[in-house]
Amino acid sequence: MTRADKPSAFGPYELVRRLAVGGMAEVYLARLRGEAGFEKPVAVKRIHPRLEGGEAGPDALVQEAKLSASLCHPNIVQTLDLSYAEGSYALVMEHVEGYDLHHVIGMLREAGRPFPIDLASHVAAEVCRALDYAHHLVDEQGEPVGLVHRDVSPENILLSFAGEVKLADFGIAKTTVRPSDPGTRMVRGKYFYMSPEQAQAGPVDHRSDIFSAGVVLWELLAGRRLHQAHDVASLLRDVRRAEVPLPSSLRAGVPRELDEIVARATARRRDERYPRAGAMADALTAYLRRRPAVHATRQLGEVLAGLRCRAAATPRPDEADVPRTRDHVVTQPAPEGAMPPKPTSGLEDTEQTLTGWRRPETSARRHRWMLVLAVGSLMVGILLWSLHGV
Residues labelled as active-site residues = 151
What is the dihedral angle through the alpha carbons of 167, 306, 355, 349, rounded to the nearest 10 degrees?
A: 90
On whether the CB atoms of residues 196 and 187 are closer than 8 A, the answer is no
Tally of CB atoms within 10 A around 222: 22
Alpha-carbon gap, residue 251 to 245, rounded angstroms: 11
Report the amino acid identity of residue 267.
A
Q: Positive or negative CA dihedral for 172, 28, 86, 48?
A: negative
Distances (CA, A) of 11 to 30, 87, 157, 185, 310: 11, 11, 28, 38, 35
